[in-house]
Amino acid sequence: MKRRDFLKLPLGAAALALVGRAAETAGSGANRPHEGVRVGAKRDRYDEELLIMGGRFDLKVSGRDTGGDLCIYDTFREAKGGPALHRHFRQDEWFYVIRGEFIVQVGGETQRLRPGDSALAPRTVPHAFAMVSEGEGQMLVLFQPAGSMEDFFREMKKIGAGAMATQATVPKDVWERHGMEVLGPPLKV
């Protein structure tokens, strides 16, 4: 193979990846609503009350609103702590702190997040978060793509006991069914 042809291989592979991604997302507009959605402050998209993992999770943008591309939760915590160290096999997870202070572990690195700070946990990378401040904390949590995260949270509510439903009360197969794996305990605060 000539050197010039060898150098064209990465460009061709990149073009094929883009074409594949375009084909994958083509037509996704058919699954999307054709109206905007407004969700009020401290309200859930579907007026559900999700008290799980030591906090309240209000769905603001549903996967049904985005053709499955993403979902966003506004989370409120009054107690310190957070979920177990885990990873998602198909979703990136993004955290944006509105109130309070949180620590977020992504891979081997732990960061302290204050209002206005954010962190990204790419899919397959182990991660966890915990509120470490006193008073109420608030953080937006975004999943991209949405996957079955909304179903996972609803299932956690059914399994757990209100706000005290934690990873300890959720069987391993529930995590696995929704494309996740628990890797360790929650972060210590």
Per-residue pLDDT for 161 more than 80?
Answer: no
162 exposure class (CB count in 10 Å sphere: 0-12, 13-18, 19+): exposed
- Please say whether the dihedral angle defined by the alpha carbons of residues 50, 53, 57 and 59, taken in this order, is positive or negative: negative
pLDDT of residue 6: 43
Per-residue pLDDT for 169 more than 90?
Answer: no
pLDDT of residue 113: 98
Query: With contact defined as beta carbons under 8 Å apart, do 168 and 178 qualify?
Result: no
36-65 burial, b if ≥16 CB within 10 A, otherwise e? eeebeeeebbeeeebbbbbbbbbbbbbbbb
CATH numbers and ranges of domains, the chain: 50-186 (2.60.120.10)
**Rounded Cα gap, residues 79 and 154, in angstroms:** 21
In this predicted structure, which of 7-16, 26-35, 58-67 has the lowest mean pLDDT? 7-16
Which pLDDT band, with edges at 50, 70 and 90, does 57 fall under?
A: very high
Which pLDDT band, with edges at 50, 70 and 90, does 171 fall under?
A: confident
For residues 18-45, give the mean pLDDT: 70
Of 186, 175, 97, whose CA–CA distance to 139 is shortest? Answer: 97
More confident residue, 20 or 33: 33
70-105 burial, b if ≥16 CB within 10 A, otherwise e? bbbbbbbbeebbbbbbbbbebbbbbbbbebbbbbbb
Compute the mean pLDDT over every residue in the chain, rounded to the nearest whole number: 84
Residue type for position 142: L
Give per-residue pLDDT as tens, 58-90.
Answer: 999 999 999 999 999 999 999 999 888 999 999
Strand 127-131, strand 92-99: pairing: unpaired
